[in-house]
Structure formats: C-alpha cells, structure tokens
Chain A
Amino acid sequence: MAQPRRNTIDLRVSSTAALNQPRSELTVTICPGHDPSLKPIPLLVRDTHHLRSVLAECKRLKQLSAANYDPGATPIYSWLFPYATIPVPSVLSVFPPDLRHSHRSSNSILSPASAGQPGDDVLDISVIREDWIKNRVHQEIFVPASQATLKVRLGTFNVNGKLPSQDLSPWVQGISDKYPYIPPLNEISPFSIEKDANDYVSSAKDQESVPQDDSVDDVDDDVDNEEKVATSTSSVRPPGPQGSSYLPPLETDDPDLLVLGFQELDLSTGALLYSSETVREDAWCTAALAGLGEKAEKYQKLASKQLVGMLILVIAKKDVVHLFSDIKTASVGVGIMGVMVRSLQALNRSLILREHQGNKGATALRLTYTPSPTPNLPYPRPTVITFVNSHLAAFDEMYDRRNSDFQELSKRLLFDSGIPQDSEMQEDGYAPPTIPLTVFQSDLLFWMGPDGSIYLSYCSLISGEAFVNFQEHRISGLPSGALSDGLGYDVKRKPAWTDRILHMPSQAAVVESLRYSSHPEITMSDHRPVSADCRVHIPLVDLDQLESFVGTLWREVADIEQSEDAPRIHVKPSTVDFGNVFYKRRVSKDLELKNIGKVASAFRFVPITAEAPTHSEWLQFNPMSGLVLPGESLSVTLSILVDNAVATRLNAGSGRMEDTLILHTSLGKDYFISVSGQYQRTCFATPLERLVRHREHVRSPASLELLSEEQALSAPQEVMRVVNWLMTNAAEIDSLFMEPGQESMIGIIRECLDTGTDFPPRPQGDVDTALSFASCLLELLDALPEPVVPRVLHSRCAQVTTRDEAFEVLDNFSSASVNVWISVTAFLHYICHRGTPNPGPQRAERIAEVLTPVLMRDDPRTAATPTSPIGKRRFLMLFIA
C-alpha cells in the first residue's frame, strides 16, 4: 500500500498570543490534505497538558482515513471540516439545519448590496456556495436514492378535561365508516410550501364536481394498489366535501408510529399544582393502546411528555422500535402559564383557578430514525423527526396573543442536545451548558396545534409573523361546513379548523399525505379528535458516501474568496427584448452565464440603489443568485408576467417597459443587462372611471389623451359590448356563468375589446363561445382595481333589505359604476327569468353566488373582517331575482 504523503503537524510557540493570557498558548497548524484548496488550519491551544492526546487522536484519525481509501486515491479528511475556517456545509452538520432556512430563498439572506456598493461579498459567497452544495446534494444524492418508508399516523384531540370513556379505535386505528372531508394535508399545510388559500379552495371546489361514487372508487384503487399511492402524491383523492363518504380502513397499512397529541387533559386546579401526577396520562395511554384492539400487542409506548394539560404520546410498532433512538422531549408554557411554571409559589390559588383556561403552551418530542444498515448502506444517515403538540390562544380577538405565543414557542421550545457548548468546566464546578436544539432543527417537523387553526403562510414564517392572513371561524361539528354553501362563507375566505396537523418536510424526509379526517363518532369532548395518515419517505443515504460527495464539491468551491484570480463570466445576451407583451401572458427568455475564468463564480442580482427593488415589478428571474464552475454555463430565466396590479399602472402610460438588471459577481464585476418590451394596453384592470374617458378602444393612441369628465361615456364600451353580445347570443344557455369558458377564446375576445375589432362569428349552436363570453365578462369585472360596487358601500349594501333601499344606495355610485351595475344586473335579471329552460329563483340564487364575489369583491390585502357574503348576495338578489 502506497504511503500517502505525510501531513505536517507543525508546532510552534506563539509569541503574541501569550501576552494577555496567564497560561501559555500554542498554535498548532494542521494541513488537512494534499489538495491546495484546503488551507492549513491553525489551532490555538491553551491546555498544553492535553495537547499530546489531541495530536495522538489526529494521527489516529489520519491513519484511519488513509486506511479507508484505495491506494493512490486522495484521502479526504472530512473529520477536519468542522474546524476549517470556512464553515462546513450544513448538509454535513451533526444537527439538521433549521427547516425554516431550507425553505427560505438564499436571496433573502444575502448582504445588502447595490450598484457600486457590493456589500459583503465574502458572506455572500458562503451563502451562495452553501445553497449550491445543498442543491447538488439534493439532485445527486437524495433524489436518486432508494427510500425507506415510515408509516405515521398522527392524532390530535382536545379532551376538555374528560377521562377516556369511549372506544378510541376510530381515531387511533382509523377504522370508521365515516370520514368527514378535510382537504388533503399537503394542500393546506402552510409548512409544506406556499400553497395559496385560493389554490386550496379551487382544489376543494374541483372535488365538488367529482361524483361521490367515483371518489370512493378512486380511494379503493389507491388502497389496493400501494405502489400507485407511493409513486403519485396526487392519486389520493379525498371524498367529496359533503362529509359522508365511506372509506375502508387502511388495514394493510398499520402505522409504524402512532403519535397522539392531547390538550386540556386535566382542567382541575390540582393539575397545575401537582403536574408530576401521571394518572391521566396513564389513562389516556392505556385507552389509546386499547383502541388498537387486537393489534395492541404489536405496539409499545415509545415515549411521552406531559405539561399540565398537554400530552404528547408516541407509540411504535415493536418490530421497528429498535430503529428509533436519541429520544428527547421538551415542554414550555406560554403566557401566564409560562410565568407560573417558573414561579408557582408567587401566585395564589385563586389566580391559578382564574387563569387556568389560559393554560397554553406545547410539549414536543424529538426522535432519530436510523434505517437498518445493509452491505450497500453501512452507515445510513439518521433522520431527525420532531413532533410538537401545542395549545395556543383561541378566538379571533386573541390574534396578537396567539401570534406572540407561536413566536415564543418557536424560541423557547428547546431540546437538550447533551453536547456541551464549551468543553471547559464552569468555574463554579457545574457542568457546562449544553447546546440547545430548536424544534426546527429537524429533518421533518409535525405540528399538531388545536385552537390555533394555525394558518401559517410560508412567507409569514420568514418575516417572523406567525399568523399573517389568519382568520378563524369557530365551527362546531364538521369542519367540512366551511366549504358548504349553507354557512355562507364565500370561497375567497380561508376555511379554518380548530384542530390541525401541519408539517414541514425537507429533502431528507418527504411527506406523502394519505388521509386527514375528523372523527365525529367520538363525542366525549366538545372537540372531535382529528387524525392524519401519511407516509414519510426517507432517502437511504450512506453517510460516508455523502461526506465524500460533499467533500468533492467542497474542494471545487471552498477557495473562491481566497483566489488570486478574479471571477470572469460571459453574459449572453446583454440586451433582452421581449417585443410585444400582453396582459397575463407570460413570456420568458434565457440569459446564459458562462464561466470563462479559472475560479468558481458566485453571482447575484443587485438593485440600482439600496432602497430600490432588484427589478421592475413586471419582471421575474430565476435563479436570483447562483454559482458557476469554471468552464460551465448556467441559464437564468427572465420572465414577464403582467398581472392586474401591474396592468393597472401600465395601462395608464405609454406601455414602454425598460429595465437594466445588474448582475454582480462576488469579488468581481457588475454586468448590465438591458431588458425591454412594449406592453399592449388592455381594458382589463383599468378603472371604470378611466375606461369611460377613452376616445377609442384602449390600445388606440387617441385613448392616451383622456376625454374630459363632461365628455365621458355613460358606461365603458367594452363592458357594454360583452353584455350586448351575451344578451343577443347567449341568454338561452342554462350553464352560462356556471361553467368556465376556454382560455384561448377568452383571450381572443379580450383582444377584440382592446383593439376595437369585431368579435369572431359564433358557430351555430356553439355553447363554448357563449361560456367564454360570460367568463370574459366575469374576468373583466373581477380585474377592476375597485369593484363595480365601491368597497366603502359594501357594509351598507349588506344591510339593505328592500328594493327601494337598494336603489337608494345606487345614488352613491359613480356614474360609470351605476351604469355598469344596472346593465349587468338587468341582463342577469333577464336570463334568470326568461330565455332559459329553467327560470326561477333557484337560477337567480346560483347566478348571485357566482357574481357577488366579483361585483362586490373583498380586498384581499386588508386584514379587516370582510362584509357578510350573505348580506351582499341578498343585495344582488334584490336586482336580479
């Protein structure tokens, strides 16, 4: 075996460092390998006694490393990485990196920089490099890896102080004939990524059109065909929202882990004073195991943690229990309870009693799952999974409190890693403090949170605001009610449930949600238990393989900031002309960045000034930062999308779009890229008051000079053209406004409106064209910056009960608004009563349901409680019924 080249362990007495220190210091320099990119690591040692053993250990590890590599291969001393001046890639850190960081775009943590003011390039390089390594590891290690699958069943139950008095099997086992609909976890979990509530609602609406029988069949198929479920996350369709579908239990799919969160376990005063008592915990644990029925013998309790009324309980299948290790628990009280836990003595009993209902906080449990080693996988990468069971403030008015509670929990809910922060003993002789771990330092986090209806958006987590966009409707009974018509919530409002199970996955633990249900048959508490079934797919990654892969990557990029050579890239093209740009029609073009230098180049886009945005609001590019290795190329995609807000501004001007992007290479040049386009104005997203002052069609140059208010038309010609067309051609079509038109056709109609050209002729008996005209009208009205009914009048409209009062309100509309309102409602009145095979009040109801949220649109940006949708619908009904 060839002897690898000798590493030097260089010892020299440091002359300067000894000055301020009572004890002598030594500087030890370790050369971590042959690779020139790995710089020697200078180490400062005060404890000269133990230096000998440190050096002996270094030699031992070095020999071990050498022995593990083939002769001639370059050994990688990955055990030295943690001590490198440049921090080790977080993918190799002992503790998983913070999940919130891995969901955050690296662009948000780059240093402030602008043209001519490069910011902290060295910091930026490290951030961009870290991101690059993470992405490469994801693509080349985690994605191709085969997977272990853990079946996890989670449950949350606010037991309202009751002791178990009913069979828990429907909840614990999931055997039930009734599964009230809760949308699939991945759709509503804000942890899982930025799923907009509207997406969620639209998907829920899609379900409505699925006949019940079909949905049951679909689920049957999925259960029978496990592979299908495993390969397609979208294949599990929840039953329809009406909440009475029948599902067979997932019998072949006994969970490996059963994780149950209980809240309000004990409402008695004693619970606070003698919280060490485990009577209730034991009772619920026994009841949960009993709920497993004859399967109970296959399971055992793995761990639990109780804090007053909050209990988290983990039950594992006996045949996999050996795969779980390093179990840690944590708990924290928030609000008044947090105070009490710390200084119970100071509070008198009456206060405790009064504040008891405010008993909030969380218990959490963290465990490490290590798959069994195999010959191909001698050192499987362990996966850390954390479960949080929280009980936060309820009710709308507690918004601020809940928000701060969440922040507090996130900060204070800490596990003890057992690893000392400092190797030195404290001066007082106590053991040194250990490194605390947050719940987010996991590969996967489940958050079971009742009473919170924690609608955490992805962005809100970053900005530190936990509960942005939060709305809560305290719905007793079935949460499915939030989507049904009966309760009068319109689809733009976010539905909420009182008991939720959320998750935050990572590349190392991917969650496939199978089922999310509530269990109405368990009636012992004022809440119903909720459960979620999922499969956690864990890529089987060998630690040695991972380390050597990361080590290889690391050597390519470790030295960027040390390099003598300036980064050099070639950006092609330097001008990008998008030509004509149309409303809501995305156009994309690529920039090619080729590294023509000798050193890896980290790049980012910077704004012109520190205060300015990086780019115009109509432009997006991806990626915003990145890294190109020498000789390699990378594409940056620029795309333009003019949405309503942008269109409103662009419609008022010449439509010339121009921007200069500044691409900054860290420790190198700024590159300028000119972007241009010619926006084609549209009547969409233009205020009614402006439309009535156009001389001609919106795209005509003559329309840039507005008519005076006296000369203004009574109503916008675009709205009138569509209404007239519908009146003439489509009044008899029953599905008008009920079914969507064709995108392409809507685009053609819009273009005719914008250019003043004639509509294409409608083929005889063609329904799609008519539906497209109806959709076009809806979209045109929905895109208005201010809805047809001015927002200030919404609450007044909602209180109106008679036709006379309704007409009085119209006096407050602008003339353009009132004319649009009258023509649209007159047309709707006509189609509800005549010209249709099914006239009558029912048709009017259905039409009102669709048109109300358009004509009287809420402002999605304000947090103010929107006006009652029922009242608004009644207002419209006064005109069309």
Chain B
Amino acid sequence: MSKQFQFKLVLLGESAVGKSSLVLRFVKDQFDDYRESTIGAAFLTQTVSLEDGTTVKFEIWDTAGQERYKSLAPMYYRNANCAVVVYDITQSASLEKARSWIRELQRQADPSIVIALCGNKSDLAARRQVTEEEAKKYADEEGLMWAETSAKSGEGVNEIFTAIAKKLPLTAPPSARAGGARAGPARTGVDLNKQPNAAPGQNEPCNC
C-alpha cells in the first residue's frame, strides 16, 4: 500500500521572475505569455508520485513578489515545509533579492525547511546575466537545492518539484500540517432516523 504525504510549499522571489508561471506549469502544465502580476497569494495543490510508490501532495502558496507586500510574506511561509525561491537568470538583481529571501527564511522560517533556489527563464539563456556557476556556488555554500527551469518550455519544472519531494523527510510525518483546514467538503450520508443538521453556526434545532 502506497504512502501519501502532504507538505506546505511556498514560492518566494522578486516580482516578475515567473513564480506564478512556474506553478501554473507544474500544476496545470500550461503557460500564459502575458500573466498579470500576482497581487495577493494563490493557493494550489499538486501531487507528485515517486518511484517507490509514495505520493507527495504539495499545498502551494504562490505569493506576491512586490516589495510593498513583503511584510505579508511571513504569514504565508509560516509552517512551510519547503520553499522555492525564484530568480530570473536574465536579471542579476533578482538573484540578490533571492539571497535576501533565503536569509530571511534561514532566520525566521521553520529550521527544518527545505529550500530550493530556482533560476527561471532558462529559455532566455541568450540574455543571461546570472551564470550557472555563480548560482550553484552560492547554493552549495548555503546548502540549498538548485536548478534552472523554464516555465515557458517546461524544462526542469517537474524535476525540481520531484527533487524537493525526494529531499523531504518522508520517514517522519510533516512536522506541521500545512495550510489549515483545506480538506474538501465531507459528503456523508444522511441518516433518515436523525434530524438533518442545522445550518453551521446557527443553533437551530431543526430545519426539516
């Protein structure tokens, strides 16, 4: 019988590096050339199956990259089991921003958090400003996972999420169950011999 694990994953990084596109590619295998900037935080789920039959369900929070909303980010990476910090390989400033996110996570997030550094837009290698060596060296120093991806072509996307799933401590249950009550609605049968339940939050004894 296969085991199923559930982990909370948060995406962080500067505005316009492609966090939402990365999630869209991972969850729906789609890509929009013109995506509006995320002003808020979106919640999505995707399940990854590992070779040993284990399945890992990611509860993903895709957060806004704009500086203005930086103060809200801790609410979303709180209790996260893993974080994907994204930079744009064509913008060296975005790697600087990624470094600052990683420092913040190392300081404030759960100490056991698995952090992956992700250089997106590898399809635009011609305009590259961040070399693979530079990023990899930094990731090695900080003990981070690292990969380059292209949300547009799909290259490397599934691979990095699968790698994270493998790296997560699957032997122990996740330390903090992610994301609050996200379970789908329970559809239970109705016992004819009982009164139907009252509307939630309203203590009416009967609605029959």
Q: How far is it, in angstroms, between the C-alpha of A123 and the C-alpha of B185 when the chains are bound?
A: 9
Q: How far is it, in angstroms, between the C-alpha of A35 and the C-alpha of B21 when the chains are bound?
A: 36
Residues of A within 8 A of B207 (CB): 82, 87-88, 90, 93-94
- B residues 124-180 near A (Cβ < 8 Å) are 179-180
In contact, B185 and A561 (Cβ under 8 angstroms): yes
Residues of B within 8 A of A85 (CB): 187-188, 190
Residues of A within 8 A of B205 (CB): 95, 421, 435-437
Q: Is residue B204 contacting chain A, with contact meaning CB distance below 8 A?
A: yes
Residues of A within 8 A of B197 (CB): 87
- B residues 9-40 near A (Cβ < 8 Å) are 39-40
In contact, B72 and A662 (Cβ under 8 angstroms): yes
B84 to chain A, nearest CB (A): 16
Q: Is residue A668 contacting chain B, with contact meaning CB distance below 8 A?
A: yes
**Complex: chain B residue closest to A420, CB-CB:** B195
Residues of B within 8 A of A671 (CB): 39-40
Q: Is residue B42 contacting chain A, with contact meaning CB distance below 8 A?
A: yes
Contact with B along A412-452 (1 / 0, CB 8 A): 00000101011110000000000111000100000000000
Q: How far is it, in angstroms, between the C-alpha of A156 and the C-alpha of B207 when the chains are bound?
A: 34
Q: Is residue A340 contacting chain B, with contact meaning CB distance below 8 A?
A: no
In contact, A608 and B180 (Cβ under 8 angstroms): no
Q: Is residue A101 contacting chain B, with contact meaning CB distance below 8 A?
A: yes
In contact, A660 and B208 (Cβ under 8 angstroms): no
> Chain A's interface: helix, strand, loop or mixed, by majority?
mixed
**Complex: chain A residue closest to B72, CB-CB:** A115
In contact, A97 and B75 (Cβ under 8 angstroms): no
In contact, B189 and A669 (Cβ under 8 angstroms): no
- A residues 60-110 near B (Cβ < 8 Å) are 82-83, 85, 87-90, 93-95, 97-98, 101, 109
Known A-B contacts A27-B189, A422-B193, A670-B41; A98 and B75 likewise in contact (beta carbons under 8 Å): no
Contact size range, B: 35 or more
Count A-B pairs with CB separation below 8 Å: 148
> Chain B's interface: helix, strand, loop or mixed, by majority?
loop
Residues of B within 8 A of A47 (CB): 193
Contact size range, A: 35 or more
In contact, B61 and A116 (Cβ under 8 angstroms): yes
Q: Which of A38-46, A512-520, A761-769 contacts B (4 or more CB under 8 A)?
A: A38-46
Q: How far is it, in angstroms, between the C-alpha of A713 and the C-alpha of B206 when the chains are bound?
A: 69
Q: How far is it, in angstroms, between the C-alpha of A562 and the C-alpha of B182 when the chains are bound?
A: 13
Known A-B contacts A95-B204, A116-B41; A44 and B189 likewise in contact (beta carbons under 8 Å): yes
Q: Is residue A304 contacting chain B, with contact meaning CB distance below 8 A?
A: no
Known A-B contacts A118-B181, A669-B41; A127 and B192 likewise in contact (beta carbons under 8 Å): no
Q: How far is it, in angstroms, between the C-alpha of A93 and the C-alpha of B194 when the chains are bound?
A: 16
In contact, A672 and B39 (Cβ under 8 angstroms): yes
In contact, B200 and A94 (Cβ under 8 angstroms): no
Q: Is residue B97 contacting chain A, with contact meaning CB distance below 8 A?
A: no
In contact, B200 and A116 (Cβ under 8 angstroms): no
**Complex: chain A residue closest to B208, CB-CB:** A82
- A residues with CB within 8 A of B: 27, 39, 41-47, 54, 82-83, 85, 87-90, 93-95, 97-98, 101, 109, 111, 113-123, 126-127, 130, 417, 419, 421-424, 435-437, 441, 561-562, 571, 574, 608-609, 660, 662-663, 668-674
List 5 additional A-B contacts (Cβ < 8 Å) besides A89-B199, A120-B181, A673-B39.
A41-B190, A87-B199, A97-B202, A113-B180, A660-B72
The 5 closest A-B pairs by CB, nearest first: A115-B75, A671-B40, A109-B201, A116-B76, A116-B75
- 18 A–B contact pairs at CB < 8 A? A42-B189, A43-B192, A44-B190, A45-B192, A83-B196, A87-B199, A95-B204, A117-B180, A118-B179, A120-B181, A121-B181, A123-B200, A126-B199, A127-B200, A437-B205, A662-B72, A672-B64, A674-B68
